[in-house]
Amino acid sequence: MRIEVWVEVRPTEDEEKVGRALSNVFIYDEVRIEESEGKKYIVALGNGFKSLIKVHNLIKEQGIEDSARSVLMRGHRW
């Protein structure tokens, strides 16, 4: 399973801080910066379930399993 996460870096945000925030919830094997339609993104790529363990643990700790499940089941791409 390959997982790709795109995080927008807004003009008022520090790119390093956004990258650290992403690292707090996602374990990635590769990361790059992309620009599209005048916006800057950090794109992180992960392989396998290990990439999702941090976000999984945060969801369980906060007790929001049902809410997270409903969002994931909708299959939205933001």
Whole-number Å distance between alpha carbons of 44 and 21: 12
Question: Phi and psi for 10 in degrees, rounded to 5?
Answer: -75, 160
Domain map (residue ranges) of the chain: 2-74
- Residue 77: per-residue pLDDT: 60
- Residue that wins the pLDDT comparison between 16 and 73: 16
Q: Could you give the 3-state DSSP secondary structure of residue 70? A: helix
- Residue 43: per-residue pLDDT: 97
46: β partners: 3
Whole-number Å distance between alpha carbons of 49 and 36: 28
Q: If we measure between CA atoms, which residue out of 7, 4, 11 comes closest to residue 28?
A: 4
53-62 vs 65-74: helix axis angle to the nearest 10? 130
Question: Phi and psi for 36 in degrees, rounded to 5?
Answer: -150, 130
**Is the pLDDT at 16 greater than 90, yes or no?**
yes
Domain 2-74: give its CATH code.
3.30.1440.10
Q: Binning pLDDT at 50, 70 and 90, where does residue 42 land?
A: very high
Mean of the per-residue pLDDT values for the chain? Answer: 93
Output the pTM of the full model.
0.81
